[in-house]
Each structure stands twice: as C-alpha cells, then as structure tokens.
C-alpha cells in the first residue's frame, strides 16, 4: 500500500520505518493535512495523520476524489476527523487507542507537582544563585480532594496515583467505574458539584460536542478560589477567553496544561525566531500561575513505539482484508 504520512516529525519517523519493515511504501512529509495540502495525497492508497491535522468534510472530499481509501491516525483523539462524513463518502478511518495512558497520567501529575511546588521558578532562581525560598511555598497533596473528569484509561490511572498520595478522589463520567468505587473509594458526582468540592481538578475526557467549552465561566467559577486545574486532554474542553478572565481575577490558584484550544499551526513547530500571533496564547503563557507544555504528554519512547506499531497494524489489516479492531465508524463516533 502506498501511504503518505502527514505531520511527520523526526522523533517518530524511525519508529514508523522500523514497525513497517518495508511492507508499505511510505513517504513522510512535515506538512499538516488541510484543504491545501490534501492534493499531496494524489496517487496514494492511504494517509496517516496526527491530532492537529484537518480531516474535516471538505478535506475528506478532496482525498476521496484523489483516490485515497484509508486514513490511520497516530493519536487516540479523533475530534479532528469528521467520522460520520468519512463513512458516508466511503473512507475508512482507524486510530491508535491506549498507546500509553500511563504517559499521559504521569505527565498530568508532573504538571501538578511542578505548578504546586513552583519547580520551574525554583530552578530559574537557583540558576541565578538565588537560594531564597520565600516565594516557593507549596501545599501538601496528602489530604486534598481531587476531582477527575473522565475515568477512562488515563483517569483510572490518576485515581490510583492520587489515592496513593493520600487524596480523597471524586469523579465525573457518563459511566461509573465500580472497581474504582470499591477499591479506591471514588465518589461520582455531577460535574459542577465535583468542581465545587475539589482542591484539584484534572480533565481527562475526550473532546466531543458535549464537552466542548464545558469548562466555561460558570464551571470555572464553581471551582474553589484556591484550586488547581490540570488539562492533559484537549484544549477545546476549556473556553480560553473565560479561563483568562478567571485567572486575572485570581479565582484559581493555578492552571497547568499540555494542550491549547487553538493549537493548529502553532504547536509542534518552532516559533522562537518568528514569534506567535495568538494574543490569547501569549497572555496565557505569560501568567505566573500558568504552566504549559507543548502537547508532549504522549511523547515517551514506549508510547511512540506503540503508536508506530498500531499505525502499521491498521494498514496491514486493510491491505490484507482483515477486520481492523481500531477502525472507527458512525456507531463508535456517537457512543
């Protein structure tokens, strides 16, 4: 199968080549998929895309006209793909589920610890030979109440981690996990009530129509004034303009994130020489109580190997006419 790999990054190409074992004819390009770059896929049977590529209806229609039949994502999230439209026009789509929930969960905890204990600020001070700790006071996690929004693979790991820290764990999800309730004393609550009662809230839910901007001004104000908000899911779950207003008013103690609402065209690229034009993003990262990483939570050696293996597995299934367990259809999309 001839496959064009969009948004190919140096750190993942070798893993993909290794997993492929020269079975498929793969070409790697750094360009992201959009309505302009879709024409690059002419002559290819399939494409591979990342979480920030644009696979909306217009793009899918171009790909279909060019003869593309298959799309495999190198990510768990697939909110950037119009799955319903893909199925309607005859494009088959698969994703890379569960490649490393531990990587995401561990990064979320790392963000919280760094923000709470002011590790970035402390390191900067020490590098200037300033060993004062007057402005480096944090809080114990032990005894705090943590709210987990989404208790899937990642959220479940976080429940166990925070329970080990000695935290009381609350949760919100469409489906309750009885194992977590029975073994980790998790209490499921409506989202707003969970936010009101939590000292720390971690977002680990997928971005859907229902979760888009669910953390708006109302939900953010429902949180405790001295609470931490952690987001390693998707930036669009939080309404950035409302978050900025809440942070400016001092309502939240801090915000740590690995994602941003308008990542496309900014994240995964080096803008150190040219700068960025997104004023909201500039304002957000300039705040002393905000800690942001560039969507790197997934980036561990183990996760990258699994993503590559899953990507090739998806292509192999289609090539060999086998059922692909990772294929997405309309039923999966609405479930």
As annotated, the active-site residues are 234, 263, 295
Give the separation between CA 210 and CA 267, rounded to whole angstroms. 25
The three-state secondary structure class of 304 is helix
Q: How far apart are CA 335 and CA 333, in angstroms?
A: 6
Strands 228-231, 25-28: parallel, antiparallel or unpaired by DSSP? unpaired
Token pair of 204 as six digits: 């680990």
Instruction: Extract the runs of DSSP E, i.e. beta strands, from the chain.
Output: 2-5, 25-28, 46-49, 70-73, 92-94, 145-149, 168-172, 187-188, 200-203, 228-231, 254-257, 290-292, 327-328
Three-class SS state of 233: coil
Cα dihedral 230, 242, 261, 203 sign:
positive
Gap between the Cα atoms of 32 and 34, Å rounded = 6
Q: How many residues in the chain?
A: 335
- Which tokens go with 235? 């930036």
DSSP 44-102: -SEEEE-TTS-B-HHHHHHHHHTT--EEEESSS--TTB-HHHHHHHT-EEE--TTS-HH
And the tokens for 72? Answer: 């495999």
CA–CA distance, 238 with 297 (Å, rounded to integer): 18
């Amino acid at each position: 199968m001839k496959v064009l790999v969009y948004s190919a990054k140096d750190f993942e190409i070798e893993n993909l080549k290794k997993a492929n074992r020269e079975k498929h004819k793969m070409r790697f390009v750094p360009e992201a998929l959009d309505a302009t770059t879709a024409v690059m896929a002419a002559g290819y049977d399939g494409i591979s895309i990342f979480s920030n590529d644009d696979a909306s209806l217009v793009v899918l229609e171009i790909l279909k006209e060019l003869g593309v039949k298959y799309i495999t994502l190198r990510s768990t999230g697939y909110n950037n793909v119009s799955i319903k439209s893909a199925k309607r026009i005859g494009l088959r789509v698969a994703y890379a589920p569960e490649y490393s929930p531990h990587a995401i969960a561990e990064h979320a905890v790392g963000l919280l610890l760094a923000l709470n204990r002011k590790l970035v600020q402390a390191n900067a001070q020490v590098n200037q030979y300033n060993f004062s700790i007057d402005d480096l006071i944090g809080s114990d996690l032990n005894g705090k109440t943590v709210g987990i929004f989404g208790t899937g693979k990642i959220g479940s790991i976080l429940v166990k981690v925070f329970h080990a820290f000695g935290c009381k764990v609350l949760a919100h999800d469409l489906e309750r996990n009885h194992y977590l309730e029975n073994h980790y004393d998790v209490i499921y609550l409506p989202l707003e009530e969970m936010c009101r009662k939590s000292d720390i809230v971690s977002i680990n839910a997928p971005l859907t129509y229902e979760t888009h901007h669910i953390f708006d001004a109302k939900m953010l104000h429902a949180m405790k004034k001295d609470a931490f908000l952690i987001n390693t899911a998707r930036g669009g779950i939080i309404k950035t303009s409302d978050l900025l207003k809440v942070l400016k008013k001092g309502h939240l103690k801090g915000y740590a994130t690995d994602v941003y609402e308008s990542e496309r065209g900014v994240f995964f690229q080096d803008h150190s020489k040219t700068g960025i034009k997104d004023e909201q993003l500039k304002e957000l990262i300039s705040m002393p109580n905000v800690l942001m990483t560039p969507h790197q939570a997934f980036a561990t050696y183990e996760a990258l190997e699994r993503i590559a293996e899953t990507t090739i597995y998806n292509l192999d299934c289609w090539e060999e006419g086998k059922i692909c367990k990772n294929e997405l259809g309309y039923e999966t999309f609405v479930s």
